[in-house]
């Protein structure tokens, strides 16, 4: 008996060590990137550190200014301008795809003819390799004489990419909760809009938040589909497309400063999501209790 418990705890310890090692592999590269972003002006994008400086951070915030340390072939795009465009785009994409996916998820609650075909059409947005979508639409726009831009063609493919994710999130939501509650509210005298606003939406709140988070983060990072669809100048590119372009030229620690900045931004967005999620789930719990109680009384 003693032997088995001892063996068990040994394997338990091994498992714990294992996940710590995997976590290190997941997060250690971020730390390295942050450290190297403080590389000295004469240092490169790998170790060793040649002095410590905020030089590359300064360059991040002062794009296009050549200095005594500037190199030939250095990438001079304005990362922060691109970041601004990407943030605006991500916000619009998150809202648009959440609304359209929520609408469609309602339709999927009841079986209808062709539901599989529609569902798999949506799923193609995830399945079809991004670069092929980019190429196909780029060539079509080219034929039509339309110049791609981040506010039009890039928006179109971003929403295409996020919509299926948001749909799946809401389908999971409807699987989780039986919305008999809606019927109950209707019986107790609410009109359909009231039933929707006061009963269905509060229950769905956690899923709406998840959908917004997925829409926002997936769009903020999208580059495969929008690669050819943000326009040809640096002034219309989104951040990921600009990063793609810069990596094929010469990599400087400015890229690490940028990566550190955007990662911190991502963490902030995730923290915000978790904060609202906890609040929403508390509220949903309260809403469910409130709705169920009169029902219980009625049955008694």
Partner 1 sequence: MAQLTDARSLGAAPDLSEHQRASLSGRIVQALRGKPGLTTGLLLLPGTLWMLLTVGTALVSIVVFSFWTSGFTGLRPEYTLANYQSLLRPGSSFWGITVWTLQVVAMLLIGVILLAYPVSYTLWRVIKSPYWKSALLLLFIVPFWTSYLTRTITWLPMFGREGVVNQVLMGLRITDEPVEVLLYSEFSMMVALWFLFIVFMVGPIYFSMQRIDEDIMSAAAVYGASPWKTFFLVVVPLTLPGLMAGSLFVVVLGLAEFFTERAIGGAQSPMLAGLIQRQIDVFQFAGASAIAVVLILITLALVGLMLRFFDIRRI
**Site residues (CB under 8 A) for partner 1, limited to 169-188:** 171-172, 175, 180, 183-184, 186-187
The C-alpha atoms of residue 102 and residue 71 are separated, in whole angstroms, by 50
Q: Judge contact between 92 and 155, C-beta under 8 A.
A: yes
Q: Which is nearer to partner 1, 98 or 205 (CB)?
A: 98
Q: Does 277 bind partner 1 (CB under 8 A)?
A: no
The site map against partner 1 for 134-173 (x = CB under 8 A) is -xxx-xx-xx------------xx-xx--x---xx--xx-
CB of 252 to partner 1, least distance (A): 11
CB of 20 to partner 1, least distance (A): 10
Q: Does 245 bind partner 1 (CB under 8 A)?
A: no
Q: Does 232 bind partner 1 (CB under 8 A)?
A: no
Orientation angle between helical segments 153-176 and 79-108, nearest 10 degrees: 40
SS (H, E, C) 53-95: CCHHHHHHHCCCCCCCCCCCCCCCCCHHHHHHHHHHHHHHHHH
The C-alpha atoms of residue 254 and residue 266 are separated, in whole angstroms, by 18
**Site residues (CB under 8 A) for partner 1, limited to 46-75:** 46-48
Q: Does 248 bind partner 1 (CB under 8 A)?
A: yes
How many residues at the interface with partner 1, by CB under 8 A?
Answer: 95
Among 54, 191, 232, 249, binds partner 1 (CB under 8 A): 191
The site map against partner 1 for 80-109 (x = CB under 8 A) is --------------------xx-xx-xx--
Q: Does 45 bind partner 1 (CB under 8 A)?
A: yes
Q: What is the DSSP letter of 209?
A: H
**Which residues 6+ apart lie within 8 Å of 73 measured at CB?**
249, 250
Stretches 55-63, 66-74, 258-266, 279-287: which one binds partner 1 (CB under 8 A)? 258-266
The site map against partner 1 for 110-139 (x = CB under 8 A) is x-x-----xx-xxxxxxxxxxxxx-xxx-x
Stretches 14-22, 57-65, 71-79, 285-293: which one binds partner 1 (CB under 8 A)? 14-22
Q: Which is nearer to partner 1, 24 or 67 (CB)?
A: 24
Kindly give the residue spans of alpha helices, DSSP state H, lying in the chain: 2-36, 55-61, 79-108, 115-127, 130-144, 153-176, 180-187, 192-195, 201-220, 239-247, 254-299
Dihedral (C-alpha) 24, 27, 28, 31: value to the nearest 10 degrees? -150
The whole-angstrom distance between residue 271's C-alpha and the CA centroid of its chain comes to 13
The C-alpha atoms of residue 16 and residue 39 are separated, in whole angstroms, by 35
């Amino acid at each position: 008996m003693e032997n088995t418990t001892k063996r068990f705890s040994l394997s338990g310890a091994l498992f714990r060590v294992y996940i710590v090692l995997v976590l290190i592999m997941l997060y250690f590269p971020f730390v390295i990137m942050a450290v190297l972003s403080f590389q000295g002006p004469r240092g490169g994008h790998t170790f060793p550190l040649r002095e410590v400086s905020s030089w590359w951070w300064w360059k991040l915030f002062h794009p296009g200014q050549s200095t005594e340390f500037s190199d030939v072939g250095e990438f001079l795009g304005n990362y922060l301008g691109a970041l601004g465009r990407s943030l605006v785009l991500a916000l619009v994409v998150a809202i648009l795809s959440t609304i359209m996916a929520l609408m469609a998820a309602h339709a999927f609650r009841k079986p209808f003819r062709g539901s599989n075909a529609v569902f798999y059409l949506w799923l193609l947005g995830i399945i079809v390799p991004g670069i092929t979508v980019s190429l196909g639409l780029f060539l079509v726009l080219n034929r039509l004489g339309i110049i791609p831009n981040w506010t039009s063609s890039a928006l179109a493919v971003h929403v295409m990419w996020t919509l299926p994710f948001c749909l799946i999130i809401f389908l999971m939501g409807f699987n989780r909760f039986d919305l008999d509650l809606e019927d109950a509210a209707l019986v107790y005298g609410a009109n359909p809009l009231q039933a929707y606003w006061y009963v269905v939406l509060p229950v769905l709140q956690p899923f709406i938040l998840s959908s917004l988070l997925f829409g926002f983060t997936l769009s903020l990072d999208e580059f495969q589909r929008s690669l050819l669809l943000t326009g040809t100048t640096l002034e219309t590119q989104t951040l990921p497309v600009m990063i793609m372009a810069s990596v094929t030229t010469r990599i400087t620690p400015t890229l690490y400063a940028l990566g550190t900045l955007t990662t911190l931004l991502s963490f902030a967005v995730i923290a915000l999501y978790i904060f609202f999620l906890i609040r929403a789930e508390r509220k949903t719990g309260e809403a469910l209790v409130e709705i169920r109680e009169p029902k219980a009384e009625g049955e008694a």
